Structure 1
Amino acid sequence: MADLAEFVREAEYLTSKGREAYLADSMDGALLRNAGERILIKVAAVAEKLPQAFKDAHPDVDWRGINRMRNLVAHHYDRGSHDLAWAALNVRIPELGTRLSQD
Protein backbone atom coordinates (compact mmCIF):
# COMPACT_ATOMS: atom_id res chain seq x y z
CA MET A 1 0.00 0.00 0.00
CA ALA A 2 2.96 2.32 0.51
CA ASP A 3 3.71 2.08 -3.20
CA LEU A 4 0.16 3.06 -4.04
CA ALA A 5 0.30 6.03 -1.67
CA GLU A 6 3.50 7.18 -3.37
CA PHE A 7 1.90 6.94 -6.81
CA VAL A 8 -1.06 9.00 -5.54
CA ARG A 9 1.39 11.70 -4.39
CA GLU A 10 3.13 11.57 -7.77
CA ALA A 11 -0.20 11.98 -9.57
CA GLU A 12 -1.10 14.92 -7.35
CA TYR A 13 2.25 16.58 -8.05
CA LEU A 14 1.92 16.00 -11.78
CA THR A 15 -1.61 17.39 -11.94
CA SER A 16 -0.54 20.45 -9.94
CA LYS A 17 1.21 21.51 -13.16
CA GLY A 18 -2.21 21.92 -14.77
CA ARG A 19 -4.19 20.36 -17.60
CA GLU A 20 -2.89 22.80 -20.21
CA ALA A 21 0.71 21.91 -19.39
CA TYR A 22 -0.14 18.19 -19.48
CA LEU A 23 -1.81 18.42 -22.90
CA ALA A 24 0.64 20.94 -24.37
CA ASP A 25 2.10 20.16 -27.77
CA SER A 26 5.64 20.58 -26.47
CA MET A 27 8.49 18.55 -25.03
CA ASP A 28 7.36 19.51 -21.51
CA GLY A 29 3.84 18.30 -22.27
CA ALA A 30 5.16 15.06 -23.72
CA LEU A 31 7.26 14.46 -20.62
CA LEU A 32 4.30 15.11 -18.33
CA ARG A 33 2.12 12.73 -20.36
CA ASN A 34 4.80 10.05 -20.30
CA ALA A 35 5.16 10.43 -16.53
CA GLY A 36 1.38 10.30 -16.09
CA GLU A 37 1.07 7.19 -18.19
CA ARG A 38 3.82 5.54 -16.17
CA ILE A 39 2.01 6.39 -12.93
CA LEU A 40 -1.19 4.81 -14.26
CA ILE A 41 0.67 1.69 -15.33
CA LYS A 42 2.34 1.39 -11.91
CA VAL A 43 -0.96 1.87 -10.07
CA ALA A 44 -2.47 -0.94 -12.16
CA ALA A 45 0.52 -3.19 -11.45
CA VAL A 46 0.09 -2.70 -7.70
CA ALA A 47 -3.68 -3.19 -7.92
CA GLU A 48 -3.24 -6.40 -9.88
CA LYS A 49 -1.08 -7.88 -7.11
CA LEU A 50 -3.47 -7.05 -4.27
CA PRO A 51 -5.12 -10.09 -2.69
CA GLN A 52 -8.62 -10.83 -3.96
CA ALA A 53 -9.91 -10.60 -0.38
CA PHE A 54 -8.68 -7.00 -0.22
CA LYS A 55 -10.40 -6.16 -3.51
CA ASP A 56 -13.59 -7.85 -2.32
CA ALA A 57 -13.46 -5.70 0.82
CA HIS A 58 -13.38 -2.58 -1.39
CA PRO A 59 -16.18 -3.09 -3.91
CA ASP A 60 -16.49 0.68 -4.42
CA VAL A 61 -13.12 0.69 -6.21
CA ASP A 62 -13.34 0.01 -9.94
CA TRP A 63 -10.55 -2.57 -10.07
CA ARG A 64 -11.37 -3.55 -13.65
CA GLY A 65 -11.39 0.11 -14.65
CA ILE A 66 -7.87 0.51 -13.28
CA ASN A 67 -6.70 -2.32 -15.52
CA ARG A 68 -8.61 -0.97 -18.52
CA MET A 69 -6.94 2.42 -18.07
CA ARG A 70 -3.56 0.72 -17.99
CA ASN A 71 -4.36 -1.03 -21.25
CA LEU A 72 -5.55 2.22 -22.81
CA VAL A 73 -2.44 4.21 -21.96
CA ALA A 74 -0.11 1.33 -22.75
CA HIS A 75 -1.53 0.64 -26.20
CA HIS A 76 -3.25 3.79 -27.50
CA TYR A 77 -1.31 6.97 -28.10
CA ASP A 78 -3.95 9.35 -29.41
CA ARG A 79 -5.21 12.61 -27.96
CA GLY A 80 -8.37 11.02 -26.58
CA SER A 81 -6.38 8.73 -24.36
CA HIS A 82 -4.45 11.75 -23.05
CA ASP A 83 -7.72 13.35 -21.93
CA LEU A 84 -8.82 10.14 -20.22
CA ALA A 85 -5.42 9.69 -18.59
CA TRP A 86 -5.60 13.27 -17.27
CA ALA A 87 -9.02 12.59 -15.76
CA ALA A 88 -7.72 9.43 -14.10
CA LEU A 89 -4.66 11.21 -12.72
CA ASN A 90 -6.57 14.27 -11.57
CA VAL A 91 -9.68 12.61 -10.12
CA ARG A 92 -9.68 8.83 -10.02
CA ILE A 93 -6.22 8.19 -8.57
CA PRO A 94 -6.65 10.73 -5.73
CA GLU A 95 -10.10 9.23 -5.00
CA LEU A 96 -8.52 5.78 -4.86
CA GLY A 97 -5.90 7.06 -2.43
CA THR A 98 -8.58 8.61 -0.21
CA ARG A 99 -10.70 5.46 -0.16
CA LEU A 100 -7.82 3.17 0.64
CA SER A 101 -6.34 5.45 3.29
CA GLN A 102 -9.58 5.21 5.26
CA ASP A 103 -8.71 1.62 6.21
Structure 2
Amino acid sequence: VSLEIPCNYSSLLDLPEELVIMVLSYIPVSELLYTVCKICRGLKDVVRKMQSLWTIVEFDDSYTIDIAMMEMIVKNNQLVCLNLSNQNITFGSHRFTKLMLKLTPTIQE
Protein backbone atom coordinates (compact mmCIF):
# COMPACT_ATOMS: atom_id res chain seq x y z
CA VAL A 1 0.00 0.00 0.00
CA SER A 2 1.43 3.34 -0.99
CA LEU A 3 0.23 6.60 0.36
CA GLU A 4 0.36 9.67 -1.81
CA ILE A 5 0.23 12.98 -0.06
CA PRO A 6 -0.66 15.88 -2.32
CA CYS A 7 1.93 18.60 -2.12
CA ASN A 8 1.76 22.07 -3.60
CA TYR A 9 5.44 22.73 -2.94
CA SER A 10 8.10 21.22 -5.16
CA SER A 11 11.12 22.94 -3.62
CA LEU A 12 12.15 24.84 -0.53
CA LEU A 13 11.92 28.11 -2.44
CA ASP A 14 8.24 27.48 -3.15
CA LEU A 15 7.52 27.93 0.55
CA PRO A 16 6.78 31.39 1.95
CA GLU A 17 10.02 33.29 2.61
CA GLU A 18 9.33 33.40 6.36
CA LEU A 19 9.36 29.59 6.49
CA VAL A 20 12.52 29.36 4.39
CA ILE A 21 14.23 31.79 6.78
CA MET A 22 13.06 29.71 9.74
CA VAL A 23 14.53 26.55 8.20
CA LEU A 24 17.81 28.26 7.27
CA SER A 25 18.19 29.78 10.73
CA TYR A 26 19.12 26.32 12.05
CA ILE A 27 22.17 26.17 9.78
CA PRO A 28 25.41 27.82 11.01
CA VAL A 29 26.41 30.96 9.09
CA SER A 30 29.63 29.35 7.92
CA GLU A 31 27.66 26.47 6.36
CA LEU A 32 25.22 28.87 4.74
CA LEU A 33 28.06 30.79 3.12
CA TYR A 34 30.08 27.76 2.06
CA THR A 35 27.35 25.47 0.81
CA VAL A 36 23.86 26.90 0.59
CA CYS A 37 24.85 30.18 -1.07
CA LYS A 38 27.02 28.37 -3.59
CA ILE A 39 24.42 25.85 -4.74
CA CYS A 40 21.33 28.00 -5.18
CA ARG A 41 21.01 31.65 -6.18
CA GLY A 42 17.48 31.83 -4.76
CA LEU A 43 18.62 30.63 -1.35
CA LYS A 44 21.57 33.01 -1.49
CA ASP A 45 19.13 35.90 -1.92
CA VAL A 46 17.10 34.70 1.08
CA VAL A 47 20.27 34.34 3.19
CA ARG A 48 21.26 37.92 2.37
CA LYS A 49 17.90 39.14 3.71
CA MET A 50 18.20 37.27 7.02
CA GLN A 51 19.04 40.25 9.27
CA SER A 52 19.25 38.25 12.50
CA LEU A 53 21.73 35.86 10.91
CA TRP A 54 24.39 38.53 10.47
CA THR A 55 24.80 39.75 14.05
CA ILE A 56 27.33 37.12 15.15
CA VAL A 57 29.48 35.42 12.51
CA GLU A 58 32.06 32.83 13.49
CA PHE A 59 34.47 30.82 11.35
CA ASP A 60 36.80 28.17 12.66
CA ASP A 61 39.88 26.80 10.92
CA SER A 62 37.86 24.32 8.87
CA TYR A 63 36.76 27.15 6.56
CA THR A 64 38.74 29.55 4.44
CA ILE A 65 37.08 32.91 3.98
CA ASP A 66 37.40 34.56 0.62
CA ILE A 67 36.89 38.24 -0.14
CA ALA A 68 33.40 37.70 -1.62
CA MET A 69 32.20 36.12 1.62
CA MET A 70 33.69 38.93 3.68
CA GLU A 71 31.93 41.47 1.46
CA MET A 72 28.61 39.70 1.98
CA ILE A 73 29.14 39.70 5.75
CA VAL A 74 30.18 43.37 5.97
CA LYS A 75 27.47 44.69 3.61
CA ASN A 76 24.71 43.59 5.95
CA ASN A 77 25.39 46.29 8.61
CA GLN A 78 23.99 44.12 11.42
CA LEU A 79 27.37 42.70 12.46
CA VAL A 80 28.03 42.75 16.20
CA CYS A 81 30.72 40.06 16.43
CA LEU A 82 33.01 38.62 13.75
CA ASN A 83 35.19 35.74 14.94
CA LEU A 84 37.95 34.78 12.51
CA SER A 85 39.95 32.63 14.90
CA ASN A 86 42.61 30.48 13.26
CA GLN A 87 42.05 32.12 9.88
CA ASN A 88 45.04 32.74 7.65
CA ILE A 89 44.27 36.29 6.54
CA THR A 90 46.37 38.01 3.90
CA PHE A 91 46.26 41.79 4.15
CA GLY A 92 47.83 42.41 0.74
CA SER A 93 44.51 42.68 -1.06
CA HIS A 94 43.28 46.23 -1.69
CA ARG A 95 39.66 45.00 -1.59
CA PHE A 96 40.25 43.36 1.80
CA THR A 97 41.85 46.52 3.20
CA LYS A 98 38.86 48.62 2.03
CA LEU A 99 36.53 46.10 3.58
CA MET A 100 38.30 46.23 6.94
CA LEU A 101 38.27 50.03 6.90
CA LYS A 102 34.52 49.94 6.29
CA LEU A 103 34.10 47.52 9.19
CA THR A 104 36.43 49.31 11.62
CA PRO A 105 33.99 52.01 12.87
CA THR A 106 31.71 49.26 14.18
CA ILE A 107 34.46 47.42 16.05
CA GLN A 108 34.32 47.88 19.81
CA GLU A 109 37.40 47.80 22.01
TM-score (norm 1): 0.29
Q: More relative contact order in 1 or in 2 (CA 8 Å, sep 6+)?
A: 1
Greater helix share, 1 or 2? 1
Instruction: From the CA coordinates, give the structure whose radius of gyration is larger.
Output: 2
What's the TM-score once normalised by structure 2's chain length? 0.27
